[in-house]
Structure 1
Amino acid sequence: MIKCSLKSEDADSEEIQILNHREWIYKLWDNLKYRNWDLTKFKDVHLIPTNRSTLRKLNTPKKIFSNENISINLRHIFEKFGGVFVEHEFDVGRISRWNKITSYIIKPDDIISVLGSFRADTSYPRNLSQTTLQTYEASTLANHLSNHLRLVNKVQIMNYIEVIKYLSIFFEVDHDSPISLLPENTNWYLLPRNEENTCGKIIYPRNMGKFLNTSSQNLSYILEDIIKITRLDSYVYWQKYVIPYLGSQQQAVIDKVVDSLFDRLPFLLDHDVNLKDVLGRTSFVPVGTYKMSQQQEMPARVKLVKPTELFDPEDMTVVGLFFEEEQVFPAGRYGIPRNKFSNKFFSNLKLLGMKSDLSSND
């Protein structure tokens, strides 16, 4: 009898509009609880009042959210993704504590159910991937996800990795706007641990792969422990993702990256001494005249050469073998050092094979 009287003209819709006079729905719930009705008999009936003046079916693939323990910012984010919340009066009433109704209303800290509800939206994955979040919203959602994913069995999480990838909560290194990892088909990487802020500019071609920011511990947890994005070893990063691409950069970028590279060169050479030969045969040093090297000036037209193709401008015996306008010496900041800082560049060129005498091939 109750079910028949509640039958809606729009029975196929998950929600129907409700008039302002809502006392009857609360009286109905009191009756259902008093009689201890089996709610599965009403799963297709519009019974749950929402915060947007509608009644929602009791059981829908995209379940309704409770307002319990959720900030205004987080609730707004859920709503952007298509989430619907229970009317506040209903949520704080004793009916919402009835054990028979708790399975129909999701608490925001039940993160698996939250992700499942996002996925159940009829517009999925567009409801996630096409929703723009502000930076603070991305941070809020990432923190919420991380805090509650840590409490969930990893086996359960595996079924929702795709949903997480569609959330715009991630940041590419050197970019400020939140992004999602899907649907873009990209190779994603993480910079070596503890080098995120000291490795200089990323020069690896973006069409071959991109790097994600892990400055937030919560984002780092999601990317490494949940999604399993590869974090590169320091040696691998510099050898395969930096050095081969040095020569194709603007000089200012090269200088910035080489500055960082030279800071950790002793460590890298301890790992593999052969890297010295690789760098020595890589064209990244601007070449100029002796005067340019002496004054750390750059030529009008920059030409990059290998360290092994340069001659030591501090060796006057070698300097005297060349004409004044011959460009065979390191130029710019790679030239004759003026102080301890600039000596880092010059001394490493010597380490990488800068010549102090002429061979039969010269």
Structure 2
Amino acid sequence: MRKEHPMKRTMINEIFFIRAIACLCVVLIHSMTMTQHNYELFRLTDELLYMFKLTIMFATPVFVMISEFLLSYSYPDKLPKAFWKKRIIYILVPYIVMAVIYSAYPLLSGTGFTWGRFMELFFEKGFLGLWHGYFVLIIFQFYALHFLLKKYFDRFPALLMIGISLIVNMFYLAIYNFSWFHDFSFVAALRPYYKLPFLGWIFYFTVAYYAGKNIDVFLTFIQKYKYYLLAGAALTGMVPLLMRYNHIYSVVSSKRFDVVLYTFFIFCLLYLIARQLKKTPTIVMWISSSSYGIYLLHPLFQFNTIDFLQSMPFYTNFGVHILLLFIIGVGGPILVTYLLNKVPYGALIVGKFNAPKSSAPLKEKMKAS
């Protein structure tokens, strides 16, 4: 009988918490952005919203980072035979389906549908990643990198590979963040698509690979250096704020070079917080289990909510506007994802609703194994 990896089948419940937080932050970012587009806010209020959004720009990188962390943890030796089949069916197919919907929606509800314009939009979204679902293309690059680079990563010290990937990642993003490099023709040509190549995410892949594969070392590290991690998060989190305040680089984006280290520190701190929970709250489990559907669907719910909110008496309150967009952007997709998973082939539209069977913390599961 083939010997199983001792922790292969152990559920990492901390990831449910981290994934839920990342998902909620994405919806909150878009809720604030839509409100800013529909309100004439005081300059200070508007700037404070931008600043707050900068502090939660770790959301998409953390979500992407989780994919490699779980992959490295679950399959430390080699990928199973059904690996690609399951992910194509439940991740790539919903991505394509939703790209079709998001390409057709503005044409059917506005300018009029033509096949030429539809195919143009679908190509931009589905293949060039010019929509909020682009992170799926990053995740599939991670799957390919794991398959291709695993044997090389295992030959070299983790700190060396993490350090190299950090330098490459930050330099790559800096090229596109700052106008100093924009005179180079290849930089200008690729600028609309710079978020897609794995070079802009390689640090997240590398650190997640080693953390997931050597989870005991990772857990010891974050526990031993928790106060340093907290200080690191505070210091690196201040950098984007200071750069915006001083008009050095003002773009609110998760593809900033100064968000890379900040994301790592936040991931570690969220993991530590999750480990302190005696039981993961049910609402967190539901959000995490519906996270893919929330990511894909929430803009549709939010776009269609704005016209309704404009007719309501409390529309003048921008805070209520943000809150309602946030609640509808989370609750609507959860309901749709859950219901579609109750019908045949519904998971092919919005992904699987992966309801966990247990919510006990990892340390308890490890003791029981």
**Structure number, greater radius of gyration:** 1
Q: What TM-score do you get using the length of structure 1 for normalisation?
A: 0.21
With a CA cutoff of 8 Å and minimum separation of 6, indicate the structure with the bigger relative contact order: 2
Structure 1 or 2: larger helix share?
Answer: 2
Q: What TM-score do you get using the length of structure 2 for normalisation?
A: 0.20
